[in-house]
Amino acid sequence: MDEHIETSSADGIMTIRMNRLDKKNALTSAMYAGLASALDKAFAHKDIRVVVILGVPGSFSAGNDITDFLQVAMSGKRESMAVFDFLERIIMAPKPVVAGVDGLAIGIGTTMLLHCDYVVASDDSLFRTPFVDLGVIPEAGSSLLAPRLIGHHRAFALLAMGEALSAEDARQAGFVNRIVPSADIEETALAVAGDIAAKPPEAMTITRDLVRGDRTDILARMREEAELFGERLKSAEARSAFLAFMNRRDTAAS
């Protein structure tokens, strides 16, 4: 397991923490592989009923690591498949997934939330998907799921324009259930998971399956986006946006 992905289990709940504080939880391919493997364990273990995904104080995730993107952009090599392994698992998750978001939720830090069953966010969280600004396109099936969940206009502002949503915006949009102070985020996410874990598991599974519905179209859209995303990573637009991010301090200083 990658050193930046930590797991612990108690009382039917597996907690998965993304823990790369110095990089605001930017996600590397090794971290995606760690997330996928943690989810595999949670889904396979008969005693685990709920998964909780957490970040670090102030940062749920700053999105995909841009140095990883830049490497693909410059080398022309194919992107690592680990991100898709993670996405497949969260899209098709057979058990409830709760997220506790404190602070930044950027890129995949926001799109993964669309696949969770319950999201608790701190009052200072910020949701943003600057895909187009980076010369790339939405991922995680979000181009299908976001308009379905939050309506075309809000999905366009989020996914195409990169407009930021506050915690209250996200609650009104419908993909955040509850807003709490930062200090209470983990306790609340675990309490929600505890409530889910305490319910009759068979009825919970059947109800959740009915509520989520068939997800094969979302999986297919995720794969379609992945092809397009892979092409975009090698575009001049993307390369110059990644370089601008890497060089932003030099530019600001000059």
Residues that bind ligand COA (CB under 6 A): 23-24, 26, 62-67, 104, 106-107, 130-131, 134
End-to-end, the C-alpha distance of the chain in Å comes to 41
Q: Write down the least CB distance from residue 96 to ligand COA, Å.
A: 26
Q: Write down the least CB distance from residue 64 to ligand COA, Å.
A: 5
Locate 253 and state its tokens.
């200083």
Nearest CB to ligand COA, comparing residues 117 and 139: 139
Nearest CB to ligand COA, comparing residues 207 and 247: 247
Say how many C-beta atoms besides its own lie within 10 A of residue 153's C-beta.
9
Locate 28 and state its tokens.
């590397």
Nearest CB to ligand COA, comparing residues 42 and 134: 134
Locate 43 and state its tokens.
């889904």
Q: Write down the least CB distance from residue 219 to ligand COA, Å.
A: 20
Nearest CB to ligand COA, comparing residues 70 and 189: 70
- 69, with CB counted inside 10 A (0-12, 13-18, 19+), is buried
Q: Write down the least CB distance from residue 254 to ligand COA, Å.
A: 17
Q: Pairing mode, if any, of strands 104-106 and 118-122?
A: unpaired
| Chain residue whose CB lies nearest ligand COA | 107
Locate 6 and state its tokens.
């930590």
Q: How far apart are CA 70 and CA 76, in angstroms?
A: 10
Nearest CB to ligand COA, comparing residues 118 and 131: 131
Nearest CB to ligand COA, comparing residues 209 and 237: 237
Q: Write down the least CB distance from residue 135 to ligand COA, Å.
A: 10
Locate 233 and state its tokens.
């990573």
Q: Write down the least CB distance from residue 18 to ligand COA, Å.
A: 12
For residue 159, the Cα-to-chain-centroid distance in whole angstroms is: 14
